[in-house]
Amino acid sequence: MAVLVVVSPEKELLAACRESARTIVAVDVEVTDVKSVATDVAKWRPFAIVIEEDLFAFDPNEFIALARDVAAEVITVPASTARDELVTVLIPRLKAALRRWEATEGSH
């Protein structure tokens, strides 16, 4: 099953990720924090990692490298955004990331 990892989400972001994942069949949403993200991403091998822009900005190269290691995509979202706006942004980006992930997973 495809996994979506959300890093240290605010309540609105987590709700938006769960709602977005429900529109895409067979996606598990897992939550991690910055301290555990490397271990958890290696364990879950997600198709996408959702993270707020402010948090991503602390170490973008590390998050990008981490995602690349597991063939995931980093999806950044603005902090303090309403759930409905986040869902609108997330659904097409998650669907595209999942399609790319399925294409690469299928070739291994």
The model's pTM is 0.94
9 within a domain of the structure (yes/no): yes
Show the domain range for 40. Answer: 2-89
Q: What's the token pair of residue 10?
A: 């605010």
From CA 73, how far away is CA 4, in angstroms rounded? 10
95 within a domain of the structure (yes/no): no
Instruction: For the chain, 108 residues long, give each residue's pLDDT as a single digit of tens.
Output: 899 999 999 999 999 999 999 998 889 999 999 999 999 999 999 999 999 999 999 999 999 999 999 999 999 999 989 999 999 999 999 999 999 999 987 554
25 within a domain of the structure (yes/no): yes
From CA 79, how far away is CA 66, in angstroms rounded? 21
52 within a domain of the structure (yes/no): yes
Whichever domain contains 62, its CATH number is 3.40.50.2300
| pLDDT value at residue 26 | 84
CA 88 to chain centre: 15
Number of domains observed in the structure of the chain: 1
Task: Spell out the alpha helix ranges (H) of 24-82.
Answer: 37-44, 53-58, 60-69
84 within a domain of the structure (yes/no): yes
94 within a domain of the structure (yes/no): no
| pLDDT value at residue 107 | 54
